[in-house]
Structure 1
Amino acid sequence: MDPSNSQTSTPKPNPIARTGGRVLRLVLLIYLGICLLLMVMESRLIYIPPPARDAYVEAERLGGEEARFQAEDQTNLHGWYFPKSGSKRAIVYFHGNGEDADQNVDLGAYLRDCLDASILVFDYRGYGHSEGTPDEDGIIGDSVAAQKWLAKQTHLDPSKVILFGRSLGGGVAVAAAEQLGAKALILHSTFANMDDIAASQYPFIPVRWLMRNPFRSLQRMKHFTGPVLQFHGTADELIPIEYARPLYEAVTNKHKKFVEIPGGRHNDPLAANFCEVVNEFLIGIEPSETSK
């Protein structure tokens, strides 16, 4: 038989392999699409400002004064100031991601009275009556401006102002303390690293590589040498308590305390003994003025 007359047969494509390749490409495209969507939606998932309202009458009734100041980049910021005559304590309250200063005028007056302190509750950029759009670097800059503003009003060095942060506000407060110092940090229902929380919610997404607002408080806490009082509910459904403990463990100051709230959930109101615990803690550090 003449070899030249033989026909070389070409293997036919395996339809199963071809279909599998198409499915794999489709799955990959869907996965990349989800990653891209989460990146685009990140700010909307983290920052959830409530509709702005006017709390002027309520704040005035409670003895509050309007506070207006600017961040270093000239963003105009707004808040409410509750002065306490004769007090040497000054506290900035850093709110969570779904609240604003107008919602916290009652809290500002309450803290002023029960902690015998001048209180500033203010809005990050993009919240309430503050201008701009929120992002991590921007609201950290806002927090530094707020701390400096309150220090000026109360004739204190910024490092002698107490910072109180709740939820997202805890991450903001830790960042401010890293930059300016603080007399003490009071943290409530906050995290060690926000990207750890996000990674637990989206385990199949490389969140730590993609997030632009990771709020890595754990590393920042290592640079703060002052006292820390931390509260956390044992039933917190948004930030489980195991994501909060590493932050406390990173505190180097001997004046530190972790308060578990039995059965406490993320959005519960402050515990009835909150001010009692805070006052006891502050009295313990005030004579020595050990914070920086």
Structure 2
Amino acid sequence: MAERPRRWPVAAGLALLLLLGYAAIAALLYARQDALVYYPTHTRVAATQTDFEVPVGDIRLRGWRVNPGRRDALLYFGGNAERIEAWREPFAEWFPTRTVYLVAYRGYGASEGEPGQDAILADALALYDEVRQRHPDGDIAVIGRSLGSGVAAHVAARRPVARLALVTPFDGLAEVGQAHYPWLPVRWLMRERYPSTEWLHDYRGQVLVLRAGRDRVVPPANTDRLLQALPLPAQVVDFPQAGHDDLSDDPRYGEALARFMSQSMR
């Protein structure tokens, strides 16, 4: 009697399918992570709507300057889908003694180029250096929100920044991704890492952190790990009922930032 062909065990077949599906999802995450991190589409405006620009290599970064002519300056780095021009009027009111620079990341707003971690970080330092030339005797403070908290941390680690305000910040973007996808090896897959705890390891300036208790984008645990890693205690204003996007609707948001930027240096 002829021997029947051996059949692949059903369990092994299912396991192989699951493994292939897992590998496919991981590969997709790796290949499309730029699209998951950066959302510039709804931020774009015409260059003619801006009033400030900085040449960086072969591109131009564009944005807005608020309260021109002040001795001190403030740089703002926004979130990954944020229309930063919406802050022109509030920032003019909250920071009357500072010239505020709202400059879009490359590929955002009216800025040229394509977003990516290395380029955005280099652009942020170039912006700081341009502002330093315009304010040679002044203080330059920095605010970073969400994704921008990582950019702000990088600037503060590499340039003189006495006041650093971080809104819904994270310990690292890879760690945030891992929190959202605990079943994937996100820490190994992420290129866009923004390791804020690493960058701020030796930072000795004043830090303000605005923390959202119901943040579903940057889990509060990631904010807490950043706070624990800072070499000096930060000032923390907690918004226990706020989420990632509605934090700034609370009147205490502007009050906290304005107070931090105006208080005397310790």
TM-score by length of 1: 0.82
1:78 matched to 2:56 = no
Q: Which residue of 2 aligns with 1:172?
A: 151
1:265 matched to 2:265 = no
Amino acid at match of 2:89: A
Q: Distance in 2 between matches of 1:210 and 1:241?
A: 23
CA separation of 1:36/1:106 partners in 2, compared to 1, >3 Å: closer, same or farther? Answer: closer
1:218 matched to 2:188 = no
Q: Which residue of 2 aligns with 1:42?
A: 33
Q: Which residue of 2 aligns with 1:110?
A: 90
Q: Can you give the 5+ residue segments of structure 1 that lack an aligned partner in the other structure?
A: 1-8, 58-64
Q: Which residue of 2 aligns with 1:155?
A: 136
Cα shift at 1:18? 3.5
1:144 matched to 2:125 = yes
Q: Distance in 1 between matches of 2:152 and 2:76?
A: 8
Query: What do residues 245-271 of structure 1 show as CA deviations (whole Å, max 9, x unaligned)?
Result: 1212222245x3011013111111353
Q: Distance in 2 between matches of 1:275 and 1:89?
A: 19
Q: Contact 2:202–2:231 at 8 Å: present in 1 too?
A: no
SS across alignment from 1:91: strand
Q: Distance in 2 between matches of 1:246 and 1:257?
A: 15
Between stretches 136-145 and 274-283, larger displacement belongs to 274-283
Amino acid at match of 1:75: I
Q: Distance in 2 between matches of 1:56 and 1:105?
A: 13
SS across alignment from 2:152: helix
Q: Which residue of 2 aligns with 1:68?
A: 53
1:93 matched to 2:84 = no
SS across alignment from 1:96: coil
1:209 matched to 2:209 = no
SS across alignment from 1:273: helix
1:24 matched to 2:4 = no
Q: Distance in 1 between matches of 2:175 and 2:182?
A: 10
Cα shift at 1:212? 0.4
1:198 matched to 2:177 = yes
Q: Distance in 2 between matches of 1:203 and 1:79?
A: 37
Cα shift at 1:112? 2.4
SS across alignment from 1:150: helix
Cα shift at 1:13? 6.4
Q: Distance in 1 between matches of 2:228 and 2:264?
A: 19
Q: Contact 1:228–1:251 at 8 Å: present in 2 too?
A: no
Find runs of 4+ consecutive structure 1 residues off by over 6 angstroms: 9-13
Aligned-residue CA RMSD (Å) = 2.4
CA separation of 1:83/1:115 partners in 2, compared to 1, >3 Å: closer, same or farther? Answer: closer
Between stretches 108-117 and 48-57, larger displacement belongs to 48-57
CA separation of 1:141/1:147 partners in 2, compared to 1, >3 Å: closer, same or farther? Answer: same
Q: Which residue of 1 aligns with 2:45?
A: 53
CA separation of 1:11/1:207 partners in 2, compared to 1, >3 Å: closer, same or farther? Answer: farther
Between stretches 266-275 and 74-83, larger displacement belongs to 266-275
CA separation of 1:56/1:201 partners in 2, compared to 1, >3 Å: closer, same or farther? Answer: same
CA separation of 1:275/1:201 partners in 2, compared to 1, >3 Å: closer, same or farther? Answer: closer
CA separation of 1:88/1:21 partners in 2, compared to 1, >3 Å: closer, same or farther? Answer: same
CA separation of 1:145/1:10 partners in 2, compared to 1, >3 Å: closer, same or farther? Answer: farther
Cα shift at 1:30? 1.5
Amino acid at match of 1:39: Y
Amino acid at match of 1:76: R
CA separation of 1:28/1:262 partners in 2, compared to 1, >3 Å: closer, same or farther? Answer: closer
Q: Contact 2:84–2:104 at 8 Å: present in 1 too?
A: no
Cα shift at 1:284? 3.6
